[in-house]
Amino acid sequence: MSRAVSQQADEQWFTSLDPRTAEVIGKHRVHSPIEVRAAATRARTAAQWWGGLDHAERKRRLDAWRALILRRLDDIVELVCAETGKPLDDARLELVLVVDHLHWAARNAEKVLRRRRVSPGKLMFNQAATVEYLPMGVVGVIGPWNYPAFTPMGSIAYALAAGNAVVFKPSELTPGVGEWLASTFAEVVPEHPVLTVVTGFGATGAALCRSGVDKVAFTGSTATGKRVMAACAESLTPVLVECGGKDPLIVDSDADLEAAAEAAVWGAMSNAGQTCVGVERVYVVDSVADRFTELVVRRARKLKPGGQATAHLGPITMPEQVGIIRSHIADALDKGGRALVGGLDSVRPPYVEPVVLADVPEDSAAITEETFGPTLTINRVSTVDEAVELANATRYGLGATVFSRSRGPELARRLRCGMVSVNGVVSFAGIASLPFGGVGDSGFGRIHGADGLREFARPQSVTRRRFWAPLQPNTFARANGTLRRLVRLTRLLYRR
């Protein structure tokens, strides 16, 4: 990556840049594997302290952090804009979601994780059985640049609320956002480094996987996710892997076409298409395809990218992505797709103007690979069943959108993916109680919601004998015939 790297004494530094202007935003350390391991070791002591607090005290601290983030919202919004280039309102939306998730995680951690009684069953009626979700210890979080606050906070907030310390490695493109999160957290939790940040490139992330942390929560591309898993496998460190997607939007014959078109355009183009759950492919039923396409085209033509705070779309944050976007457009056109809005000329680094492609062959890269730019394909299908089939014909399975007045939930259930919005787009990301994650090449494990809290906890089962049961099978001193009587009892209890 084209970051300027400098050496000062034994230390390496790199710069973060504003992708709109190439202006230097900040200077950050390239943390070495030794420094990463030291950070994980310090975090372990912090984890013992933080994990030893009760839920109420952790909630109090997390609420104080939320209040501080809200007081300084303009600062972090500005930093997100500077490091990613995204328009002001995109960054505001991102931070609103951060605050909402932090609130939910802090408020619900005790209810979800505390010790609760479970039935011991008929044969073990003399036992009192409980399960409690205890902190794992230290969680390593590796984050991407496209939502540099919202995405990692989906792991960080839930891991902290579950009583863990966190060592966070932000993307090399957005290290300042990571440092801002850690420094504001330290203001409300000054006692120990419960949330620390290590910065650098891929090697720093790889070192975090090998640093002795108790779990790694990774969000990024599928290719890197596989490398993270391989590194974690060396020490049997559990991983949560949130990767990319190729999310479909299905338009049924009875859909509200205005709403579907608006959702398709916003889902595909907002944040310049750099959204893991962004809309990349549309399958629209023939009978409404002309009208829907017309509505999409009209909307997409009005959108203009730019560097000003009020632009519809910002730049492509990662320079290397521009080539991928261009190649997907070229491949779609070469294979017979039609450009309805824009085309190859729309790619003007660091910006890409909206591109809408129609009749794109299903084997072209614009359909099979994550494009991660402001592009959208619209393909017609004869039935909504065909739409479901094509939507599922991908290695990815992150999110999806369905527009249908009568069959929304039914179609949603048939989609092979982790999350579906019906008659809305990306709505699931804003509902903190809904687990977030994918299947297939989109990864596994869940952030957000109760599942997201449990993802960062180890369930501990405890059972206590309340009294001696008449039958004692678990001892060499058991009476003759104990097992015969137990079998008779089992038959009696479970024969139907």
209 is a contact residue toward ligand NDP (CB under 6 A): yes
Q: Is residue 234 annotated as a catalytic residue, yes or no?
A: no
Rule CB under 6 A: which of 343-372 touch ligand NDP?
370, 372
Query: Shortest approach of ligand NDP to residue 58 CB, angstroms?
Result: 24
CA distance 134 to 115: 9
**3-state SS class at 8:** strand
Q: How far is CA 330 from the centre of its chain?
A: 29
- Report the distance separating Cα 380 and Cα 125, nearest Å: 60
Q: Does 206 bind ligand NDP (CB under 6 A)?
A: yes
If one asks whether residue 267 binds ligand NDP (CB under 6 A), the answer comes out as no
Total residues contacting ligand NDP (rule CB under 6 A)?
30
* Cα–Cα distance, 258 to 236 (Å, whole number): 50
Stretch that binds ligand NDP, among 46-54, 202-210, 384-392, 419-427 (CB under 6 A): 202-210
Which range in 61-69, 200-208, 358-366, 477-485 contacts ligand NDP by CB under 6 A?
200-208
List, in order, residues 6 or more apart from 7 with CB less than 8 Å away.
13
Reported as half-sphere exposure (CB side, CA atoms, 13 A), residue 34 has a value of 2
- Catalytic residue from among 83, 94, 172, 242: 242
- Among 249, 276, 289, 313, interactor with ligand NDP by CB under 6 A: 276
C-beta of residue 457 within 8 angstroms of C-beta of residue 133: yes
User: End-to-end CA distance of the chain, in Å?
Assistant: 65
Of 202, 307, 319, 361, which one interacts with ligand NDP (CB under 6 A)?
A: 202
In the bound state, the residue with its beta carbon closest to ligand NDP is 205
Residue whose C-alpha is closest to residue 439's, from 395, 379, 381, 385 = 395
> In the structure encoding, which two tokens stand for residue 355, read together?
């591109």
3-state helix, strand, coil in the chain (%, to 5): 45, 20, 35
- Indicate the residue among 2 and 474 with the shorter CB distance to ligand NDP: 2
- Contact status: 220 vs ligand NDP (CB under 6 A): yes
Position among 228, 329, 357, 412 found at the interface with ligand NDP (CB under 6 A): 228
Is residue 242 part of the contact set for ligand NDP (CB under 6 A)? Answer: yes
Please choose, from the candidates 98, 169, 108, the residue with its C-alpha nearest in 3D space to the C-alpha of residue 139.
169
| Cβ nearer to ligand NDP, comparing 196 with 404 | 196
Q: Where is 496: in which H helix or E strand?
A: none
**Residues 281, 367 contacting (CB under 8 angstroms):** yes
Q: Find the helix packing angle between 175-188 and 55-71, rounded to 10°.
A: 120
**Per-position x/- string for 315-334, each x denoting binding to ligand NDP as judged by CB under 6 A, each - no binding:** ---x----------------
Nearest approach, Cβ of residue 214 and ligand NDP (Å): 17
Stretch that binds ligand NDP, among 42-50, 105-113, 146-154, 291-299 (CB under 6 A): 146-154
Contact call for residue 169 and ligand NDP (CB under 6 A)? yes
Active site residues: 242
Site residues (CB under 6 A) for ligand NDP? 142-147, 151, 169, 171-172, 201-202, 205-206, 209, 219-221, 224, 227-228, 242-245, 276, 318, 370, 372, 398
